[in-house]
Amino acid sequence: MATQKNKDVELPRIKRNINSRSGKVIHYLLTHDSDKAATELAMEANNSYWLVEALSGLVGQEELNKACWWAIDSLVAKLIKIMRIGGIERLPTSYQLLLGTDVISSSISTTKSDNALATNNSSQQQLNQDGDYSENNNDAENEDDDDWNMNIQATPEMIAADLALQQKG
């Protein structure tokens, strides 16, 4: 496994017709107004969706749990953003039962989000460019750590998701 750690892997280029759904997504990512490259935006989504399965059986339970919570936070935040964009105020009852909560809604107040941001900044986690979790520091010795310490900059959607999960618990 140590020899694999230093190897790079590459996903071949993806090409789609611009009029297809996938083509529209690729075009959106290429023209997105963030400071991130389209490939980085795509990898963030891939990691949110596939990381836990990719790590299953390869890492210890503690690392896997950290990755699980990171993925859940990312996906719930995306769910809330999708609901806001679509003007969906509540999930249908069938989804509420499946998720075990009915507190996810697009009407979560900004004030609560701002308060949560202030209290959660110290424990936020981020996926670095290589797709690894790392603390937000530049120490070269920490670049290859397998600690999976995450330091995500919380978006309002992520904060709202965190509040929703806290209210459930």
pLDDT in tens, 72-127: 999 999 998 999 999 988 888 777 777 665 445 433 333 334 434 433 433 334 55
Listed residue (70, 58, 72) closest to 128, CA to CA:
70
The Cα 87–Cα 82 span in angstroms is: 8
Specify the pLDDT at position 31.
94
Specify the pLDDT at position 65.
96
Specify the pLDDT at position 6.
80
Specify the pLDDT at position 128.
54
Specify the pLDDT at position 113.
44
Q: Model confidence at 3, in pLDDT bands (50, 70, 90)? A: low
Specify the pLDDT at position 110.
35
Collapsed DSSP state (helix, strand, coil) of residue 87: coil
| 161 within 8 A of 152, measured Cβ to Cβ | no
The arithmetic mean of pLDDT across residues 7-12, rounded, is 88
Q: Dump pLDDT digits (tens) for 24-43.
A: 999 999 999 988 999 999 99
**Domain layout of the chain by residue ranges:** 11-168
Specify the pLDDT at position 118.
37
Specify the pLDDT at position 95.
76
Task: Give the residue, 146 or 163, on which the prediction is more confident.
Answer: 163
Q: Model confidence at 150, in pLDDT bands (50, 70, 90)? A: low
| 102 Cβ neighbours under 8 A, 6+ residues apart | 90, 91, 96
Strands 133-134 and 126-127: antiparallel
Q: Annotate 37-73 with b (16+ C-beta within 10 A) or e (fewer).
A: ebeebbbeeebbeebbeebeeeeeeebbebbeebbeb
**Taking the complete model, does pTM exceed 0.85, yes or no?**
no
Specify the pLDDT at position 4.
67
Mean pLDDT rounded to a whole number for the chain:
73
